Chains A and B, each alone.
Chain A
Amino acid sequence: TQLLEQSPQFLSIQEGENLTVYCNSSSVFSSLQWYRQEPGEGPVLLVTVVTGGEVKKLKRLTFQFGDARKDSSLHITAAQPGDTGLYLCAGASNTGKLIFGQGTTLQVKP
Chain B
Amino acid sequence: DTGVSQDPRHKITKRGQNVTFRCDPISEHNRLYWYRQTLGQGPEFLTYFQNEAQLEKSRLLSDRFSAERPKGSFSTLEIQRTEQGDSAMYLCASSLRPDPNTEAFFGQGTRLTVV
Contacts and interface: CB of A to CB of B under 8 A. Distances in A.
Interface string A35-64: 000001111110010100000000000000
Contacts of A65: none
Interface of A: 4, 6, 9, 29-31, 40-45, 48, 50, 88, 90, 92-103, 105
Nearest to B109: A42
Given A42-B91, A90-B42, A102-B42, A97 B48 contact: yes
B74 interface: no
B75 interface: no
B28 interface: no
Interface footprint category on B: 20 to 34
Given A94-B99, A97-B33, A6 B109 contact: no
Contact of B101 (A9, A31, A44, A103): A31
B62 interface: no
B102 interface: yes
Given A100-B43, A101-B42, A94 B100 contact: yes
By DSSP majority rule, is chain A's interface helix, strand, loop, or mixed?
A: loop
Nearest to B9: A40
Most buried by B among A42, A44, A50, A99: A42
A92 B65 CA distance: 24
Contacts of B33: 96-98
Contacts of A31: 100-101
